[in-house]
């Protein structure tokens, strides 16, 4: 089955054909680490984690690069005398890493920091100047700008004309030829820290935001790679400028542009600048991390996602159904355990290959659960194995199998052990009462257990207990 992805530049679904079928290459714009992550950042990273997992399942190897922007106007603005910009950037980077890991996002193959690739950025700027697509500001400020009118394809990603674009506000406009020209290099300023500058042919300074990703993607993936990803809010100006400067420098750059939808609050984009954000750390403190992962994955990656309390409740209920079915299936099917065919269900393949249709894929999982439960209810254990194995495989691909090692809770705690001991004693007492045909006593024990919110399930393999919910 062919994988089709929505390519922003083409503005249509395209068949995905990697440059090298044995090594898919993907670059995703990572965080600017001026402050901690909000839940929108986590949703964006999760979108590409899901894509990466599916590509890995299909092709076997994915080289996945996600950068860290650790030098930027916002990072410098948030630094203090007590915490220099580089210390702030490192601390915030750790917060992003913790939030990503908290919801099971796989670590990237490479995670370069912008400050480690400044020589590569300068090489790219030099090439653009030599090709006539960049110029040094005439006011001797040390600024270098990309000349948008020198590149006829500028605007190709977002399908805009230059005259319809807003002026670039990433540098002082005094030395610009055109208002839309954007900064490649920013000359040093007296009010900025001396250690936030690097020597260059144009004077001491630091890189502009856009040149960072062009240089890092080329350094780690080459002049041409398969997928460039990021949030919808990065299409312009960031990704438009990346595309222009890289292709103007002679690089083929990204073959597919994939953008995830935003998390919204009351229909408005969640952002730090608007002050309407919810910190990822707060969400993960209030909810099971697997519930957070499921809730963020339940909407199509390109759609807007307006999170409410019902989002978490629905995700928790869905995971409860998965967890209970897998426990029940693995427990009850053993007496009649037969053979199950390997491989994912066709409907799951079709959903994932259709522009990463995770919501449809989740629906296939729950359809298999309904089918499997009906077979288990009928005592058809041998037939139920296929549904159990299908659910294990599908949830494994999406990273939402509650029984996977990364999601297992500490069931060996003293409280859990004590609870299990008490319930097992009551189960034994009930079994003895039934053996003695003391049905009244057996019913009282079962009612007492049920009153505590605990369900008993009798089967040929014995009696199993679980907490309602």
Q: How confident is the model at residue 172 (pLDDT cuts 50, 70, 90)?
A: confident
- For the CA atoms of 310, 315, 321, 325, the dihedral, rounded to the nearest 10 degrees, stands at 180
End-to-end CA separation in angstroms for the chain: 38
**The pLDDT value given to residue 227:** 98
Q: pLDDT tens, 283-318?
A: 999 999 999 999 999 999 999 999 888 999 999 999
CB half-sphere exposure, 119, CA atoms < 13 A: 2
Q: pLDDT tens, 393-412?
A: 999 999 999 999 999 764 44
User: What does the DSSP 8-state code read for residue 253?
Assistant: E
Q: If you search the block for the tokens 């990065």, which residue do you land on?
A: 234
CA 148 to each of CA 201, 214, 467: distance values in angstroms, whole numbers, following the listed order: 22, 16, 63
- Asked if residue 464 has pLDDT above 90, the reply is no
CATH T-level fold of 326-407: 1.20.120
- Average pLDDT on 319-325 reads 97
Contact 253, 223 (CB under 8 A): yes
Contact 94, 280 (CB under 8 A): no
**The pLDDT value given to residue 410:** 44
- Which of residues 196 and 440 earns the better pLDDT score? 196
**The pLDDT value given to residue 272:** 62
Beta-bridge partner residues of 13: 6
Residue 415: helix, strand or coil by DSSP? helix
**The pLDDT value given to residue 452:** 79
- Average pLDDT on 39-51 reads 97
CATH T-level fold of 4-283: Rossmann fold (3.40.50)
- Average pLDDT on 204-211 reads 97
- Asked if residue 170 has pLDDT above 90, the reply is no
- Asked if residue 416 has pLDDT above 70, the reply is no
- Average pLDDT on 120-132 reads 98
**The pLDDT value given to residue 412:** 44
User: How high does pLDDT run on average in the chain?
Assistant: 92
| Residue ranges of the chain assigned to CATH 3.40.50.620 | 4-283
Closest CA to 76 of 206, 198, 175: 206
Beta-bridge partner residues of 6: 13
| Residue ranges of the chain assigned to CATH 1.20.120.640 | 326-407
- Which of residues 308 and 162 earns the better pLDDT score? 162
Burial of 267 (0-12, 13-18, 19+ CB in 10 A): exposed
Phi, psi dihedral angles at 372 (to 5 degrees): -65, -40
Closest CA to 48 of 280, 229, 257: 229
**The pLDDT value given to residue 411:** 44
Whole-prediction pTM: 0.87
**The pLDDT value given to residue 415:** 58
Angle (nearest 5°) at CA 190 between 189 and 194: 85
**The pLDDT value given to residue 286:** 94
Residue 320: both structure tokens together: 């409860």
- Average pLDDT on 26-44 reads 96
Q: Is the dihedral of CA 379, 383, 385, 389 positive or negative?
A: negative
CB atoms within 10 A of CB 456: 16
Residues 6 or more apart in contact with residue 156 via CB below 8 angstroms: 9, 240, 243, 244
- Asked if residue 355 has pLDDT above 90, the reply is yes
Stated as kind and residue range, the H or E segment containing 231 is: strand 224-231
Beta-bridge partner residues of 182: 146
Contact 203, 183 (CB under 8 A): no
Q: If you search the block for the tokens 């103007």, which residue do you land on?
A: 248
Q: pLDDT tens, 255-286?
A: 999 999 999 876 667 676 666 678 999 999 99
Contact 1, 343 (CB under 8 A): no
With b for 16 or more beta-carbon neighbours within 10 A and e for fewer, the 300-338 pattern comes to bbbeebebeeebbeebbebbbebbbbbebbeebbeeeee
- Asked if residue 90 has pLDDT above 70, the reply is yes
Q: How confident is the model at residue 418 (pLDDT cuts 50, 70, 90)?
A: low
């Amino acid at each position: 089955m062919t994988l089709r992805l929505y390519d922003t530049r083409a503005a249509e679904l395209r068949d995905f054909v990697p440059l090298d079928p044995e090594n898919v290459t993907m670059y995703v714009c990572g965080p600017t680490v001026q402050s901690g992550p909000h839940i929108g950042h986590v949703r964006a990273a999760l979108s590409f984690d899901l894509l990466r997992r599916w590509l890995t399942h299909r092709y076997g190897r994915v080289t996945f690069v996600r950068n860290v922007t650790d030098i930027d106007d916002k990072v410098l603005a948030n630094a203090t005398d007590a915490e220099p910009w580089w210390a702030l950037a490192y601390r915030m980077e750790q917060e992003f890493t913790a939030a990503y890991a908290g919801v099971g996002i796989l670590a990237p193959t490479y995670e370069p920091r912008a400050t480690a690739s400044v020589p590569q950025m300068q090489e790219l700027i030099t090439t653009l100047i030599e090709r006539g697509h960049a110029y040094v500001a005439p006011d001797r400020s040390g600024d270098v700008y990309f000349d948008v009118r020198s590149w006829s394809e500028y605007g190709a990603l977002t399908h805009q004309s230059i005259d319809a674009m807003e002026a670039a506000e990433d540098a002082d406009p005094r030395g610009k030829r055109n208002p839309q020209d954007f900064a490649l290099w920013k000359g040093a300023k007296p009010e900025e820290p001396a250690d936030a500058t690097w020597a260059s042919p144009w004077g001491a300074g630091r890189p502009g935001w856009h040149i960072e990703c062009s240089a890092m993607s080329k350094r780690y993936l080459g002049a041409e790679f398969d997928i460039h990803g990021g949030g919808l809010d990065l299409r312009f100006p960031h990704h438009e400028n990346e595309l222009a400067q890289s292709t103007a420098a002679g690089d083929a750059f990204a073959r597919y542009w994939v953008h995830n939808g935003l998390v919204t609050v009351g229909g408005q984009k969640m952002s730090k600048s608007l002050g309407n954000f919810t910190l990822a750390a707060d969400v993960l403190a209030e909810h099971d991390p697997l519930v957070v992962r499921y809730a963020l994955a339940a909407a199509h990656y390109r759609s807007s996602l307006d999170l409410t309390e019902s989002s978490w409740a629905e995700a928790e209920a869905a995971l409860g159904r998965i967890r209970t079915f897998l426990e029940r299936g693995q427990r009850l099917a053993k007496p009649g355990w037969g053979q199950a065919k390997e491989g994912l269900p066709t409907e799951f393949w079709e959903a994932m290959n259709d522009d990463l249709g995770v919501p449809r894929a989740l629906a296939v999982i729950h359809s298999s659960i309904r089918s499997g439960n009906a077979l288990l209810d009928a005592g058809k254990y041998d037939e139920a194995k296929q549904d159990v194995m299908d659910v294990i495989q599908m949830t494994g691909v999406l990273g939402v199998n509650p029984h996977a090692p990364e999601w297992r809770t500490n069931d060996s705690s003293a409280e859990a052990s004590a609870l299990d001991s008490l319930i097992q004693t009551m189960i034994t007492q009930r079994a003895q009462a039934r053996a003695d045909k003391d049905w009244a006593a057996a019913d009282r024990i079962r009612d007492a257990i049920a009153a505590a919110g605990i369900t008993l399930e009798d089967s040929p393999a014995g009696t199993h207990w679980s907490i309602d919910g």
